[in-house]
Structure 1
Amino acid sequence: MTELLANFAAGRWQTGNGPGTVLSDPVLGDALVRVDCTGLDLPEAFAFARDRGGAALRAMSYRERAALLAAVVKVLQAHRGSYYDIATANSGTVKNDSAVDIDGGIFTLGQYARWGDALGDVRVLRDGDAVKLGKEPVFLSQHLQVPTRGVALFINAFNFPAWGLWEKAAPALLSGVPVIVKPATATAWLTQRMVKDVIDAGVLPAGALSVIAGSSAGLMDQLQPFDVVSFTGSAETAGVIRSHPAVAHRSVRANIEADSLNSALLLPDATVGSDAFNLLVREVVREMTVKSGQKCTAIRRILVPAAVYDAAAEAIGAKLAGISVGNPRNESVRMGSLVSTAQLHAVREGLAALGAHTDMLHDGRARPLVDADPAVAACMGPVLLGARDADAASAVHDMEVFGPVATLLPYRDLDHALALSHRGQGSLVTSLFGADEAALADAAVQLAASHGRVHVVTPDVAQTHTGHGNVMPMSQHGGPGRAGGGAELGGLRALDFYHQRSAVQASPGVLASLGL
């Protein structure tokens, strides 16, 4: 019998009383651990976090809470090697892909620790300057930001069990809001281990951080008006969350990150073999293969001038042909597995659906796996599709296949390219490749309305740009429309979600006594 991982709720470790769900190695098929939360007293868990954890955190200043984040960073760094082992076993990722998740999460925590320290020894944030409410400056209005008196529930996705926790927890804890994380079941082991290490180190107040691994049943029912919920996952589940009484009737604040058909656009000035052309090819291949394409920010649609369509297909396909796929424990492997056989089946089904509207330009599935049994391993080589009529291939603009799959699409002119990008109906990110700075700037502004982030790559930033799919804590992560309408990170903007804005109307003397 595999080990049953414990949940940390109501200030103590607790195991579920059900059989649990077995987490498996997606490459070898071995059973690893079990997760279960059956029988947990959820009202007790939420009340403890809300009352004990919230009160302890709010009693601290922003600088003191920033010090907590810095302490968490030290704990995670001390156990970093074990996290890589878990990621290899449970997520099937090669070392570089594990780093995106693990080191990315630690880096984000460190950034918020530094930003929080700069906020100083205050417990309330000033939001703008005081303004007169009459002719004379004797009665003023001062807007404040104060921590919400609730709990933050995170319902996370399977692809980033480390970063997905800490990129949300960093601004929440800095804001003074306790966290309950429900990781995706398939890869919950890494999230649970990280939380366990932090709890065991005793660096956070009781109730500040909890983890519930297993079913999400009943979690939304516990949310009260001043709580917040942040969800990352499918649009279908996002719809369930938005319609839940906690959100629809109790006005619980919800942040949603859902499906996203991100695009990469090569501007008309980029010819075959130009620096911009080569940069697009390199970035597309990287985004198709990092974490086996299991990133919400991965490139799904590649928009190129019709004149370079064939050359782009050949260049991308040639680089994809050099990607070795298989067991991440073999140092020659560049791309590991999907997180589970269930995810592999889902990708295959989606690929079959897209195949009815596209041509096969490169099929990496025919290449033998390295040190992996194709009958067991959830591995699949990268697949590049193409559609010469980008307008008619409606499925490409409507369906996201969450794996190493992308579609090449030709456009007539820049207006046509921008229209195709907008057909994603709201995306997390788009990338622009070219050398004409004025044209790139204009395109960036036009695409900003339907994208949370516009990543512009010119030859002069070839070695310094942070990558299409790499989410940096300094920039907003989120997007409108289909992408969920949410917003995370973006520096201290992330704190807005965990604060309540209030206007204090009073005399100058009272406002001065606020200590801002």
Structure 2
Amino acid sequence: MTELLLNHLAGRWQAGHGEGTPLFDPVLGDELVRVSAEGLDLAEGFAFARHTGGAALRALTYGQRAALLQQVVQVLQAHRAEYEAISIANSGTVKADTAVDVDGALFTLGQYARWGAALSDANHLRDGEAVKLGKEPLFQSQHVQVPTPGVALFINAFNFPAWGLWEKAAPALLSGVPVIVKPATATAWLTQRMVHDVIEAGVLPPGALNIVCGSSAGLLDALQPFDVLSFTGSADTAALIRGHAAVARHSVRVNIEADSLNSALLLPEATPGSPAFDLLVREVVREMTVKAGQKCTAIRRIFVPQAVWGAAAEAIGAKLAKVSVGNPRNEAVRMGALVSRAQHASVLQGMDHLSSQARVLHDGRRTALVDADPAVAACVSPVLLGVDSPEAAEAADRVHDTEVFGPVATLLPYRDLAQAQALVQRGQGSLVASVYGEDAAALAGTALALAASHGRVHVVSPDVATAHSGHGNVMPQSLHGGPGRAGGGQELGGLRALDFYHRRAAIQAAGPVLAALQPQG
């Protein structure tokens, strides 16, 4: 039997009972490792994290915790080659896509280390200035934020086993809150290896970083008041989490990132061959193919003026036709596999569902895979669907309601900008929309019109053609999350991310007492 990955709880490595669940190479079909959380004493593990790990972290200042994050970066950088090999084997990603995950994690950790260092020797965050509570400034109120004395439980998705951990853990650890991560089973190997390397390096205090691989059964039952829960996954699972008895009974603070039908919108003045038109085509193709379209932020719907719909379909299809798909170990391959055969079946089913209201404009599945057996490999080549009239775009409810988590997008025309904005908002709340054009006033107006229904609006004009960070790239400086069906959550956004791991309180006292509070660095 293959290796059974160990869990880490209560300050020690622990094997789950039973044979465990196997993880597979999604291209070759080989079994890689197994995971099991069966029989773990979760109550003991959570208590150790809260009381031992939490106390040790809170005894440090923000500056000291930032220094720990920088040490974590150094540990992970030393093992990067191993992480790349695991990612290729377990996630089926080409090297460039592995970099999005692994290097994105390192970059985010490094950013929070730098931001935390600027907080220096503070042990709380001052929220605004003191205000008087009467006519005289004798008695005042000062709002502060202090680390929550609980644990941060992360239940993560399969698509970013590296970044998905560290984009959450960086602000949590900087805040002084211990972490328990439950990675998605299909790609848990990379998360487990990273946690293993950091723990074995002795960088963090015992109990500060913990991992449970396998079933999530019992994890929510172990939550207590002051704990926080961050979940990335489907809207259906998110609804179950919000209604869980322990979450409701203890008023556990929850952050959700769920389904998202992200959009790309080309403004009316753009014409075929214009810089804005070409930028949209380039970004759509990139978003459809990076990580085989398995990104929560990937473009799913593309809105263009009716007059350029045909030209856009032709231009996007021509670029997609050049994308080679197959075994990521082959240097000729540009796009690797989905993470599993189950995900492969889900994507094909989703495409069939959308095809009842949209026709296929480009079908990459007609091209043979490179160095991969289609009967074994979880590879799906890019497919561009299309709806060819504004009236049909309004009627295509499946296109606006179904997220296919793979290399699939739908091209839709619009009559005017008002209709385009209304169609974008049919997504019921998304993580990101990108807007392409050249008129600054029109771009700004559209960005504001879409802001209420999106966590991020990415505006691309010719002057930032080579400088913008990309529609789907989540940068730690900007907010990540979205309203409505996207989950209503908020992550990152610089030091705003620390809000989730802190409790705000108003300290009402005489001026000298407030002055004696340890200053923010």
2:460 maps to which of 448, 457, 467: 457
State the Cα distance separating 1:247 from its structure 2 match: 2.0
SS at match of 1:34: strand
Contact 2:123 2:518 in 1 (8 A): no
Residue 220 (structure 1) aligns with? 220
1:195 aligns with 2:195: yes
What aligned pairs does 1:271-420 form with structure 2 within 5 A after superposition?
Answer: 271-388=271-388, 389-420=392-423
1:84-107 CA distance string (max 9 Å, x none): 000000000000000000000010
- The size of the alignment, in residue pairs, is 516
- 1:501 counterpart = 2:504: yes
Letter in 1 for 2:456: R
- The aligned counterpart of 1:182 is 182
Offset from partner CA, 1:331-356 (integer Å, 9 cap, x none): 01000000000000000111110011
SS of corresponding position for 1:4:
coil
Note the residue ranges of structure 1 that are not aligned, 5 or more in a row.
none
Alignment match, 1:431: 434
Q: Whole-Å Cα distance in 1 between the matches of residues 366 and 156 of structure 2?
A: 33
Which 10-residue stretch deviates more, 482-491 or 11-20?
11-20
2:126 corresponding residue in structure 1: 126
> What residue in structure 2 maps to residue 36 of structure 1?
36
- Per-residue CA deviation, residues 225-245 of structure 1 (Å, 9 max, x unaligned), is 100000000000000100011
Q: Does the CA-based 8 Å contact 1:18-1:37 persist in structure 2?
A: no
CA separation in 2, counterparts of 1:412 and 1:257? 32
Contact 2:289 2:382 (8 Å CA) reproduced: yes
What whole-Å deviation, never above 9, does each CA across 1:423-455 have from its counterpart, x for those lacking one?
000000000000010000000001000000000
Distance 1:249 1:94 in 2: 44
Counterpart secondary structure, 1:3: coil
Is the CA contact 1:225–1:246 (under 8 Å) kept in the aligned structure 2? Answer: no
Tell me, in whole angstroms, the C-alpha distance in 2 between the residues paired with 1:97 and 1:421. Answer: 28
Kept in 1: contact 2:125–2:144 (CA 8 A):
yes
Deviation at 1:18, TM superposition (A): 1.6
Retained in 2: the 8 A contact 1:281–1:315?
Answer: yes
Matched, 1:142 2:142: yes
Mapping 1:227-242, distance limit 5 Å: 227-242=227-242
Moved over 4 A (4+): none
Mapped to 1, the partners of 2:248 and 2:394 lie a distance apart of: 37
- Tell me, in whole angstroms, the C-alpha distance in 2 between the residues paired with 1:425 and 1:116: 35
Residues 4-46 of structure 1, C-alpha deviation per residue, up to 9 Å, x if partnerless? 0000011000000122100000000000000001000000000
The code of the aligned residue for 1:486 comes to G
| Matched residue, 1:91 | 91
Letter in 2 for 1:474: Q
Distance in 2 separating the partners of 1:457 and 1:321: 24
User: Is 1:147–1:500's contact at 8 Å kept on the other side of the alignment?
Assistant: yes
One-letter identity of the residue aligned with 2:232: T
Aligned twin of 1:248:
248
Pairing 1:473–2:473 present: no
Name the counterpart of 1:156: 156
The one-letter code of the counterpart of 1:392 is A
Instruction: Report the 3-state secondary structure (helix = DSSP H, G, I; strand = E; otherwise coil) of the residue aligned with 1:177.
Output: coil
CA shift, 1:246, in A, is 2.1
Give the fraction of aligned pairs with identical amino acids, expressed as a percent: 74
Aligned: 1:421 with 2:424? yes
Residue number in structure 1 paired with 2:259: 259
User: For residues 349 and 225 of structure 1, what CA distance do their matches in structure 2 show?
Assistant: 41
**Paired AA for residue 34 in structure 1:** R
Q: Deviations over 1:232-275 (max 9, x none)?
A: 00000000100011222210000000000000000001011100
Does the 8 Å CA contact 2:124/2:145 hold for their aligned counterparts?
Answer: yes
- Give per-residue Cα distances to partners, 1:395-418, cap 9 Å, x unaligned: 000000000000000000000000
Kindly indicate whether the alpha-carbon contact (under 8 Å) linking 2:229 and 2:255 is maintained by their aligned counterparts in 1. yes
Alpha-carbon contact 1:83-1:190 (below 8 Å) kept: yes
Is the Cα–Cα contact under 8 Å of residues 291 and 336 in structure 1 kept in the other structure?
A: yes
CA contact (8 A) 2:383 2:408 kept: yes
Q: Distance in 1 between matches of 2:278 and 2:425?
A: 24
SS of the residue 1:129 aligns to = strand
Alignment-mate amino acid for residue 237 of structure 1: T
- 1:68-107 pair list within 5 angstroms: 68-107=68-107
Query: Which residue matches 1:5?
Result: 5
User: Paired residue for 2:46?
Assistant: 46
Residue 443 (1) aligns with residue 449 (2): no
CA-to-aligned-CA distance 1:338-393 (integer Å, 9 cap, x gap): 00000000001111100111011000011100000011000010000001221011
Please give the alpha-carbon distance, in whole angstroms, between the structure 1 residues aligned to 2:441 and 2:202.
53
Q: Is the 8 A contact 1:292 1:335 kept in 2?
A: yes
Q: Distance in 1 between matches of 2:120 and 2:299?
A: 40
SS of 1:324's equivalent in the other structure is: coil
Residue 369 of structure 2 aligns to a residue whose secondary structure is coil
Gaps of 5+ in 2: none
State whether residues 434 and 459 of structure 2, in contact with CA within 8 Å, keep that contact through their aligned partners in structure 1.
yes
1:22 corresponds in structure 2 to 22
Distance between the aligned counterparts of 1:505 and 1:240, measured in 2? Answer: 39
Answer whether contact 2:421 2:450 (CA < 8 A) is retained. Answer: yes
1:491 and 2:494 matched: yes
Q: What TM-score, normalized by structure 2, do the two folds share?
A: 0.99
**For residues 248 and 411 of structure 1, what CA distance do their matches in structure 2 show?**
43
SS in 1 for 2:141: strand
